[in-house]
Structure 1
Amino acid sequence: MSKAFAKSLFNLNRALVRRLRLLTVRAQPPARPHRIAATLDDALPADGGGGAAVCKVEGGLLMSSSTFPYFMLVALEAGGFLRALLLLLLYPALRLLSHGQAIKVMAMVSFLGLRKDAFRAGRAALPKLLMADVSAEVFERAVAARRRCVCVSAMPRVMVEPFLTEYLAVDAVVAPEMKEFMGYYLGVMEGEEEVLQRVNVEEAIAGEKGGGDVVVIGVGGLGCSFDSLFQKHCKEVYMPTELARRQWRPLPRQRHPKPLIFHDGRTAFRPTPAAMLAMFVWLPLGAALAIIRMAVFILLPFSLSVPLLAALGMHSRAIIPNPSSSASATTNLFACNHRSLLDPLYIAAGAGRADLAAATYSISRLSEALSPIATFRLTRDRAADRAAMKARLSSSGLVVCPEGTTCREPFLLRFSPLFAELGSDVAPVALHSAVDMFHGTTAAGWKALDPLFFLMNPVPAYVVHFLDAVECGGAGPEEARAVANEVQRRIAEALGYTCTGLTRRDKYLMLAGNEGLVDHGAKKNTTCTSC
């Protein structure tokens, strides 16, 4: 009886939505171009090198038929939880609007009142979400195989252009600007006519040098925005159906034109309406659970806290190749890749050593006060930091993160050689962490909340892999650099990660617009990136 009632209620809801949509006034799309291609192969043959392509982002380049997650990410990361909750509450009403009208409403809610010069979600948070939604079929045929590609979007340019130009190497983007007043967004976008007056579409398609009689093909998508552009410039257009989009596959990581190494934001999931509803329901319970987990970390010894935290949903695994002769018991210096603020705690728990101290750089005073193991701050003055690390190493064990900052993707940043100049053998430790709701790191946010967000995850996981020690006694600068590179190589090999030469400075310039320096009231030497 309950199933029959639920089914009838569902059918009634669908009928009501259809009737309400009939009452919505929609602009009639203009006539389509000369030829509508039936399949992607017809419009974009695999060997179609040369020519140009005009590709719609929503429903064309991107597999998803909804733009809601992208605006929700902006509302959540740039506006906060209350703005995200407001957008979620408006979702039923958005379903009754056309694609273009819904985008205008979502842009209003997500952008109204945000500072223009402080908005970095388009460069820092959205690329990760957008890259996971790129269609391999459309990218390989419309972007990679063409001399030029112009992407068209009804979403604000500040949301899509950084990703399209930097990570997919798109030549030009036609999208509306967000209007602003005195440095703040008004929540209103340019009209289609304003965009076409501002952008020289012919030049964008042909390029600065021109292309003569360039054959231009198009990939349509959701809505009827910029239909006149397709009609005027494209010889033929492929209009993907919902069934076709379901058969597309995401672009593999190895096919990315540029690897996505850095991204910011707290959200670790795709913010669909259902996922956001689950997140808001989880928040009160997650906050209480995080406080309990934090108390267990602080108050109990590792022998008790580790099994109790496992019962509270925190999964951890320590890999020690030879427990009897392990470097974790005989070595006092540990160097690890940096995944989160809790790296030294997991290393101390895995090694069973409460005497370890953590060298830190930019963590908050609150995190230092709550840490169950000793911490001390580095100042980026090489001589002072080397002396402080040697003093700690003479009395206890030491954990350092030579990358200098966290990296969420399977890449390792350049290792600072400072730890290899201490004259003590070092035990490399390979760390891998996984979260399902919140990232416990941030470049532009409030770092004091890093441990809280990590502990709020329903089932966070850590893998701690102790590797064989590397000898580095009495090393000079060149030998220290060789040791640091060897430690980086061993950790990357154990994790299956890729080594890079990027640094903390590169990350913060991209995500936060600064060099990631912290004023400790001491002379700075930016060549030191150890933390």
Structure 2
Amino acid sequence: MVIGTEINVFRGRATGLVKKPGILVGNNQAQQLEKALKDDPMPDIALGDGKTDHNFMKLCKESYVVSAKSKVEPVNPNKLPKPVVFHDGRLVQRPTPLIALLTVLWIPIGFFLACLRLGLLLLLPMPLVYYAVWALGVRVYIKGTLLPPAKKSIGQPGVLFICSHRTLLDPVFLSIALGRPIPVVTYSVSRFSELISPFKTVRLSRDRATDASAIKRLLQEDDLVICPEGTTCREPFVLRFSALFAELSNELVPVAVANEMSMFHGTTARGWKGMDAFYFLMNPSPAYEVTILNKLPNELTCGAGKSSYEVANSIQRMIAKTLSYECTSFTRKDKYRILAGTDGLVVENPTFFPK
């Protein structure tokens, strides 16, 4: 049970006003604790600062005062009982008074800068975008072998780039690295995101036969990008890959992407996804690292008798090893059920402040 200061909500929107009995401090803390306990036994342990917490600490069997002068450091992630894989919210750093002030002051500047950066992504030829975004503070690091486009004149099929998923802009920065726009297959992204995409996007239906047919047709026309995780992950983990892609092509190129943000996360599970690109580009100096790995040898593909699951799992491990991340068995549904209580479907008419 969590007992804390409650914010008033009107028609699903937070008003910013505090509910009665007000901010929980001093006597309010003790009153709310007594009300919550009713006939339950006394709590075992109380922790407080020794200034305003005496009243509720008296209701517990043992009390410990934490001095303001105590040197307390965050727990190392390796020592947590369970690793943090999923979390939501837009802020990268804890909003201390100073950071909160700087964030508020930066938002109008950052939004203008994001619009300018996005405009360059949409309007400039892809070979020039790399230099333009660097000039505007977006750091792009490219590693690996840059593959030339497929030769359609001799019937060469397109390459299927298997990309790890960090933000909505993963295919954009892969296209910047390759110097040409690469179409991408998407699932359940906002219509606005599709509208502002600098290249062709193809929405998947999650019907296996329909999606397989669409991807095969696209590969006959051009190279293609797919993110088999189906959703983004902020922490150093790679989610489970959907295995459908391995059945559709033997021309598979794994792509490991990583990014850095100092102020805003470019992903959300409960907010409006149409703003994801803007939030990432609102960071003062965001960074993207794109590592294009060697094309998967034919003996490791389904064409050599491997199952689609074996191929998907091996590529997941390759990407995780390249990034020094860990593989997980979590899926898109796991993420959205944990964070949003849904299956992660985007509504047709999203609002700026969804419930």
Q: TM-score scaled by structure 2? A: 0.84
Between the aligned partners of 1:226 and 1:515, the Cα distance in structure 2 is 45
Matches within 5 A, 1:11-410: 107=5, 111-113=7-9, 192-199=30-37, 203=41, 219-221=47-49, 223-225=51-53, 227-230=55-58, 233-234=61-62, 237-244=63-70, 247-320=71-144, 323=145, 327=147, 332-354=159-181, 356-410=182-236
1:501 CA drift (Å): 0.5
Q: Say if 2:142 and 2:289, in contact at 8 Å, map to a contact too.
A: yes
Query: Could you tell me which residue of structure 2 aligns to residue 464 of structure 1?
Result: 290
Cα deviation, 1:50-76, whole Å, max 9, x if unaligned, reads xxxxxxx9xxxxxxxxxxxxxxxxxxx
1:448 CA drift (Å): 1.1
Cα deviation, 1:298-333, whole Å, max 9, x if unaligned, reads 11112211111101000010001xx4xx55666611
1:475 CA drift (Å): 7.0
Could you tell me which amino acid in structure 2 is paired with residue 367 of structure 1?
S
SS of corresponding position for 2:9: coil
Root-mean-square deviation (Å): 2.9
Could you tell me which amino acid in structure 2 is paired with residue 388 of structure 1?
A
Alignment gaps of 5+ in structure 1? 1-56, 58-102, 120-155, 157-177, 180-185, 206-215, 521-531
Query: Could you tell me which residue of structure 1 aligns to residue 154 of structure 2?
Result: none
Query: Could you tell me which residue of structure 2 aligns to residue 28 of structure 1?
Result: none
Q: Say if 1:435 and 1:459, in contact at 8 Å, map to a contact too.
A: yes
Between the aligned partners of 1:339 and 1:114, the Cα distance in structure 2 is 34
Could you tell me which amino acid in structure 1 is paired with residue 162 of structure 2?
A
Between the aligned partners of 2:57 and 2:29, the Cα distance in structure 1 is 14
Between the aligned partners of 1:502 and 1:198, the Cα distance in structure 2 is 36
1:264 CA drift (Å): 0.9
SS of corresponding position for 2:202: strand
Cα deviation, 1:70-92, whole Å, max 9, x if unaligned, reads xxxxxxxxxxxxxxxxxxxxxxx
Cα deviation, 1:358-408, whole Å, max 9, x if unaligned, reads 000122212212111111000100110011001001110110000000111
Q: Say if 1:328 and 1:466, in contact at 8 Å, map to a contact too.
A: no
> 1:424 and 1:353, CA in 2 relative to 1: closer, same or farther beyond 3 A?
farther
Between the aligned partners of 1:452 and 1:220, the Cα distance in structure 2 is 41
Between the aligned partners of 2:227 and 2:141, the Cα distance in structure 1 is 20
Between the aligned partners of 1:250 and 1:418, the Cα distance in structure 2 is 41
1:279 CA drift (Å): 1.5
Q: Say if 2:165 and 2:229, in contact at 8 Å, map to a contact too.
A: yes
Q: Say if 1:429 and 1:467, in contact at 8 Å, map to a contact too.
A: yes
Could you tell me which amino acid in structure 1 is paired with residue 111 of structure 2?
A
SS of corresponding position for 1:113: strand
Could you tell me which amino acid in structure 2 is paired with residue 464 of structure 1?
V
Could you tell me which amino acid in structure 2 is paired with residue 198 of structure 1?
A
Cα deviation, 1:85-110, whole Å, max 9, x if unaligned, reads xxxxxxxxxxxxxxxxxx98xx46xx
Q: TM-score scaled by structure 1? A: 0.57
1:248 CA drift (Å): 2.5
Aligned length: 331
If asked which structure has higher relative contact order (CA below 8 Å, sep 6+), I would say 2
1:238 CA drift (Å): 4.2
> 1:341 and 1:327, CA in 2 relative to 1: closer, same or farther beyond 3 A?
same
Q: Say if 1:423 and 1:475, in contact at 8 Å, map to a contact too.
A: no
Query: Could you tell me which residue of structure 2 aligns to residue 481 of structure 1?
Result: 309
Q: Which has the higher helix share?
A: 1
Between the aligned partners of 2:49 and 2:302, the Cα distance in structure 1 is 62
Q: Does 1:413 align with 2:236?
A: no
